[in-house]
Amino acid sequence: MRTQFLASASLVALFFWGPVAAQPQCSSQGAAGVWGYNGLGWSIPAGGTAPAPLTMIGVLVADHVGKAAGPGTVISGAPVPGTPIPAGQPLEWEFVNGSIEVNSDCVGVFKYSIQLKGLAGPPIGPYVDRVILFPDKGQMLGMSQLSPISKPMWIYTLTRMSAVPAPVSWPDVPAQAGPK
């Protein structure tokens, strides 16, 4: 009788806890790898009132302890405050001082600064975004929360390219002549 009870109890436990054990475990380590991302949105430059559209694309590399780096490109419909950069100019940057913290419930925070390519001076930051990790789909979603130079309103999708962190960089793009 006791053996029958233990067998029944074991089956009940497997029935109820089996699905829990099958759920993905999320962590900052689970976000490690190389991620391609794209995003769209708007920003209201500091001191401005009109939103300017922006689009971005890039690669994010996260290591197993949540440190993040990688190149990106953004085009904004407004000039970059505090710089000579006009609206509509593609800007290349590198993430610096980046970190991704993902909780066991698969939600987290991406904190970073950016160093604009070809622009002297300290990195611009910190930026803070919310992220959601979908480990079974190899995707993350991100949404801006804090920007030091604007009111941010952008969202982006990251797709895992590799689970192994590796350095990446943009190939050089030749300069183009302006319209004639």
In a domain, 33, yes or no: yes
Contact 93, 115 (CB under 8 A): yes
In a domain, 93, yes or no: yes
Look at residue 56 and tell me whether its pLDDT is greater than 50: yes
pLDDT at 12: 44
In a domain, 173, yes or no: no
Residue 155's pLDDT band (cuts 50, 70, 90): very high
Residue 87's CATH number: 2.40.160
Calculate mean pLDDT across residues 50-65: 93
Write out pLDDT tens, residues 97-147: 999 999 999 999 999 999 988 888 899 999 999 999 999 999 999 999 999
pTM above 0.75, yes or no: yes
In a domain, 127, yes or no: yes
Domain carrying residue 50: 25-162
Residue 11's pLDDT band (cuts 50, 70, 90): very low
In a domain, 13, yes or no: no
More confident residue, 112 or 5: 112
In a domain, 20, yes or no: no
Look at residue 28 and tell me whether its pLDDT is greater than 50: yes
Look at residue 9 and tell me whether its pLDDT is greater than 80: no
Burial category of 157 from C-beta neighbours within 10 Å (exposed 0-12, middle 13-18, buried 19 and up): middle
Write down the mean pLDDT value for the chain. Answer: 85
Q: Nearest CA to 26 among 159, 134, 100, 158?
A: 134
pLDDT at 80: 77
Number of domains observed in the structure of the chain: 1
In a domain, 4, yes or no: no
In a domain, 152, yes or no: yes
